[in-house]
Structure 1
Amino acid sequence: MKKVLISFVLLIILTAGHDVSANNDCTSYRGTSKIWWDGAELTKGQIGKLSIQKDTSLFKLEGEKKVHSRTLKAGEQYRIYSFKPGLLSVGGGYFVARDAKVTYQTPSKAKLAGADCVHNRFENHGPQIHNTIAMTGATGYAPDGTPLMYVLLQGEPAKLVVMNLKTNAVWDEHFLTADTSAWGLTVDQDQKAWIGGTPSGNLYQYNPAQKSLKKIGKANPGGTSIHDLEIADGVVYGSTSPDGSLFKYTAADGFKHLGQVQTGKSLARSLAWNEAADTLFTGVGAKADLIAWNMKTGKRTSILPEKYKTETSVYDLDEEEGYLFARMETSKKILVFDSESYQFIKELPAGSRGVSPSGDKKALYYTHNYKLQKYDLSSGKTTAISGTLKGTEAVSLDLVNFSTDGKDQRVVGLLGNSGTFFTYHPNWTSPKVEKLNLPMQPIPIYNIGSGIDGKILSNGFVSGKTTEYNPQENVTEEKIKIGQAESMAVLKGTLYMGIYPGALLYKYNGENADHYVKPTPLSSIGNGQDRIVAMTAISSLDTILMGTSPKNGEIGGSISSYHIPSNKLSVRRNVIPGHSVVSITSHGNYAYAGTSIFSNNTSQSSVSAQFFRFPVSNVQGQIEKISLPLVNPRMIHSLTTASNGVIWGLSDGNLFSYNPQNKQTKTLNIVSATSGRFKNGNVVVGSDGMIYGNVEKVIFRVNPSTMEKTIYKGPPASNLIVAPDGKMYFSSGAELWSIR
């Protein structure tokens, strides 16, 4: 327990002039970090203060019995946090009798309301999106031979769910506490499952004998995603991005970084092992290549025919019976190679992510056109199995024994990302398709925006589910099923969304109140672009302006405009050569934009991000670069315009302003360093005229006149926006929050 002596020295009362209305509007307290009452701070949870008039006992309660602790002396003062009949609590379980020996005082309602604003600055509106998104699957067996399917669910956090394939019931489940997704999954000969997490880059091991999940640790210092895992001679190999590297792990030696697979390739996507050739095959991107890496000699050989190197990546690899099967991205093809001679044999039209093992060493299975296909290894012929997979393709394929005598061996595959799976026995006429009884998960919010009628939209990572939060009713409803929304803007009552992949522009007017309304597609940016990262609405011109980043394998983003009445799209590619355009705003006759040096450009380390403007009515017009007092900025990841026409932006953790009238700039460091390549921070102008933002999960407030900075302590924050009613919202993992 801490004693608080109340000083009678005159203090500047920071709360002078504040007025909290009946609905407890906290706007005027956003720049206040402490509330002062009678010369001392009004702390969190404090409801009053105690002045000792005569020496009195401080005690704890044991049932009805008062156990004396010490004597409080006349003249001392203490904070009060709660009370009971005849008793006052000074915290820590200690009490004082409320009698003539003490004086109890309470602050005014305005002071208490102000303290509530300061100490409870953020309001949690809870998870907004729930879904079952199965990223990948693999099969194994419990110690008693029960067939199991391991399914990795996206969520906040991600989850490993182990399903009993005989009963379609959850057998076990564990959170991947450091990750929101996971791509890499394989099962070793001891039936232990190995998992690669995203975005932590952690390796996990699951032991079905103990029903335990162990986090092994971060695999590669420069990797955030483990895309594939392969077990070879007791060694775990993994492929990562964005460093395009491989690692290996053993319990005895730990992790060893093997380096980048191919110079300039940031994505090491897939792995397969051929024991006879001591070769680890690695599929990379972007653009695609297939590397045969001899683990004994260290020699690396590119074996992908030239005509396939324009593909994005080699998405999946499987080695079976001396053949290597390489699933290409983005075309629906599987390439077949001799895995010892590396000779290319043929291509197969295929929709599945890979192929199954070959149980009889004669044939294996894959899927295409929503049908199961049987591939004969000796003849190279494919036979379609009757029946349909109900509009989905396999993302995992295995052979599973449903009986301990091995007589009931079936092909099992996870279909798509919705948790559907199939089983097929060679004696059946068609596969059996079922839904796994997987639990729903809170899904990480990828982006938020101001929707129609003052509602707040939350768009889910990968899933594309979009919900509307109604602040008046405190209710969230799922409204749209669409892709991942990189950007949003409202123009004259219509919501516009930039959807990934494909850099697609959609509109949604909200007139139909039914769930699952599909927005209207307007256009694709094309020109090698994949993400509409930035968007702003120009009401006077009925135009949406956009900044984009390219697909893997392409270099250089664009600025684009879409004129709504004429449905005319204008695209200007590589406006800043080799840069992506990741932020955009406007004022008067100009649009202002910022770039990121990350645009699949191998020379990105030698260039700086650019701040520029162009005529708001013509993306093909003259570009004017604007110099900023920043040292080698990597990205200008957010821009906004204040009411006085000053442009505010974020660049690598630095806040800056640019005044178009006098061309003067200001800068202020918010955080020392930033990570990522875009979508790492937002800057907005609050209803009180102050500048707010989030960067590296931190929320800040800056007075534009004095450049005085306040850092808020609160949940990790992303996607800060200002709603039409002036309230500010942000996302934290799967949850939507607001600043009071």
Structure 2
Amino acid sequence: MRGGLSVYDPSKGLLTRNKGAGQAENMTTIGNNLYLGIYPGAWIKKYDTTASWNDITNPALLFDDMDGSPFYQDRPFGMLADPALNRLYVGSVASSGKLNGAFTVYDLTTNQQITTVPDIVEHQSIIALTYKNNKVFGGSSVYGGIGSTPDPSVTEGKVFTWQTTGTNTLPVPQYVPVAGRKVISDLIVGPDGNIWGLAEGNSSTDPSRNLTADLFIFDPNHPDAAHTTIYTNKFSSGGNVSWQGGKMVVGNDGNVYVSIGGKLYAVDVNSPTKDAVVLVPTGVSLLASDKAGDLYYVKYETNLYKYDK
């Protein structure tokens, strides 16, 4: 939990190791600033990449008040930056033994929390966030903090919608994008302008799907089941996903790349069935890309690999 933050420069092949950032469950950026969601305690830190690292003032602590009453949050897996409004959105997993995740809006201009909404999706964690057309879309998991047992009446992960302008009325709009799936592990804006998502986790309706995952795509102007297309069993999956599952990025070539179930896939966005080709067959987790469009993933938990595009 005293993990560091290493920086790799692909143009120079240079690796810099910085100690003491903490265990970052996810990160996001605005300009030169990198924002880290730290476990335990759901601490949020800001690292100014143009300044020297010292682990006291850089990265600086933005806020750390979500671990106690009344929120009891621990793991910020959902991290999303909004450059237009200069805001940070955080989705989190509850503390040990608790189920109720939360959604936080933080104003980076005033350095104030605008709101924290506990249990925004009832008895679920918030682990994936993306943004389109003045809306934040969040993906949930039925699994809560360490040592908690899922609510038996809560069997499916959901997508919720939060308006970034205007007023939000609770409960916010939310729906089940894929019946039977327990975890919405990632959401991105796809190359077609729609929202792309991954649905996985043990299926409560069809055990034969436990080792697969689904791709779903919905219209950001109509986030509901009627405007969602599901590509069933599109990927392999470990089946035991709770908080951290598949990840997606849009490549410079316009296709979507997916790290899920230990494999790296390329998805042909022009294919009517969204055909997926396996690029790396084993050991893959997490996924990111650089400006050149090359892909980076973790292999066998501790090794950073580059896939040249």
TM-score (norm 1): 0.36
Which residue of 2 is the match for residue 512 of structure 1?
51
Q: 1:639 aligns with which of 166, 183, 187?
A: 187
List per-residue Cα deviations over 1:333-386 (Å, max 9, x = no partner): xxxxxxxxxxxxxxxxxxxxxxxxxxxxxxxxxxxxxxxxxxxxxxxxxxxxxx
CA drift at 1:525: 4.9
List per-residue Cα deviations over 1:265-310 (Å, max 9, x = no partner): xxxxxxxxxxxxxxxxxxxxxxxxxxxxxxxxxxxxxxxxxxxxxx
Which residue of 2 is the match for residue 493 of structure 1?
32
Which residue of 2 is the match for residue 583 of structure 1?
128
Q: 1:556 to 1:601 in 2, by over 3 A?
A: farther
Q: Which amino acid aligns with 2:261?
A: E
SS in 2 for 1:716: strand
SS in 1 for 2:84: helix
Q: 1:590 to 1:640 in 2, by over 3 A?
A: same
Q: Does 1:502 align with 2:41?
A: yes
CA drift at 1:568: 1.5
List per-residue Cα deviations over 1:56-87 (Å, max 9, x = no partner): xxxxxxxxxxxxxxxxxxxxxxxxxxxxxxxx
CA drift at 1:687: 1.3
List per-residue Cα deviations over 1:675-695 (Å, max 9, x = no partner): 231112111211111111111
CA drift at 1:612: 1.7
CA drift at 1:576: 1.0
Q: Which amino acid aligns with 1:624?
A: P
List per-residue Cα deviations over 1:510-535 (Å, max 9, x = no partner): 23345667410000251100011111
SS in 1 for 2:239: coil
Q: 1:693 aligns with which of 258, 273, 276?
A: 258
Q: 1:594 aligns with which of 136, 139, 142?
A: 139
Partners in 2 of 1:658 and 1:734 — Cα distance? Answer: 34
CA contact (8 A) 2:216 2:228 kept: no
Q: 1:648 to 1:710 in 2, by over 3 A?
A: same
Which aligned pairs between 1:76-225 and structure 2 lie closer than 5 A? none
Partners in 2 of 1:721 and 1:656 — Cα distance? Answer: 20
List per-residue Cα deviations over 1:393-444 (Å, max 9, x = no partner): xxxxxxxxxxxxxxxxxxxxxxxxxxxxxxxxxxxxxxxxxxxxxxxxxxxx
Which residue of 2 is the match for residue 710 of structure 1?
277
Structure 1 stretches lacking a partner, 5+ long: 1-461
Q: 1:515 to 1:545 in 2, by over 3 A?
A: closer
Q: Does 1:610 align with 2:158?
A: yes
CA drift at 1:605: 6.8
CA drift at 1:709: 1.2
CA contact (8 A) 1:597 1:604 kept: no
Q: Which amino acid aligns with 1:551?
A: S
CA drift at 1:731: 1.0
List per-residue Cα deviations over 1:218-238 (Å, max 9, x = no partner): xxxxxxxxxxxxxxxxxxxxx
Which aligned pairs between 1:18-417 and structure 2 lie closer than 5 A? none
Partners in 2 of 1:624 and 1:602 — Cα distance? Answer: 22
List per-residue Cα deviations over 1:96-155 (Å, max 9, x = no partner): xxxxxxxxxxxxxxxxxxxxxxxxxxxxxxxxxxxxxxxxxxxxxxxxxxxxxxxxxxxx
Structural RMSD (CA): 2.1
Partners in 1 of 2:176 and 2:281 — Cα distance? Answer: 34
The count of aligned residue pairs is 278
List per-residue Cα deviations over 1:473-531 (Å, max 9, x = no partner): 11111134211001100112111000010001100102334566741000025110001
CA drift at 1:736: 0.8
Runs of 4+ in 1 over 3 A off after TM superposition: 513-518, 617-622
SS in 2 for 1:540: coil
CA contact (8 A) 2:143 2:150 kept: no
Which residue of 1 is the match for residue 214 of structure 2?
654
CA contact (8 A) 2:265 2:280 kept: no
Q: Does 1:734 align with 2:282?
A: no
User: What percentage of residue pairs aligned between the two structures are identical?
Assistant: 23
Q: 1:574 to 1:731 in 2, by over 3 A?
A: same
Quick check: which has more Rg, 1 or 2?
Answer: 1
Q: 1:522 aligns with which of 62, 71, 77?
A: 62
Q: Does 1:562 align with 2:130?
A: no
List per-residue Cα deviations over 1:590-641 (Å, max 9, x = no partner): 111110000124424752111121202479545112342x231110011111
Q: 1:472 to 1:515 in 2, by over 3 A?
A: farther
Partners in 2 of 1:465 and 1:540 — Cα distance? Answer: 30
Most deviating of 680-689 and 587-596: 680-689
CA contact (8 A) 1:640 1:683 kept: yes
Q: Does 1:472 align with 2:11?
A: yes
SS in 2 for 1:582: strand
Partners in 2 of 1:736 and 1:472 — Cα distance? Answer: 16
CA contact (8 A) 2:156 2:176 kept: no
Q: 1:715 to 1:477 in 2, by over 3 A?
A: farther
CA contact (8 A) 1:533 1:548 kept: yes
Q: 1:482 aligns with which of 13, 18, 21?
A: 21
CA drift at 1:723: 2.0
Q: Does 1:547 align with 2:88?
A: no
CA contact (8 A) 1:560 1:619 kept: no
Partners in 2 of 1:730 and 1:659 — Cα distance? Answer: 29
TM-score (norm 2): 0.83
Which residue of 1 is the match for residue 203 of structure 2?
none
Structure 2 stretches lacking a partner, 5+ long: 201-212
CA drift at 1:711: 1.4
SS in 2 for 1:705: coil
Q: 1:693 to 1:483 in 2, by over 3 A?
A: same
Which residue of 1 is the match for residue 229 of structure 2?
665
CA drift at 1:726: 2.1
CA contact (8 A) 1:491 1:539 kept: yes
Partners in 2 of 1:672 and 1:625 — Cα distance? Answer: 25
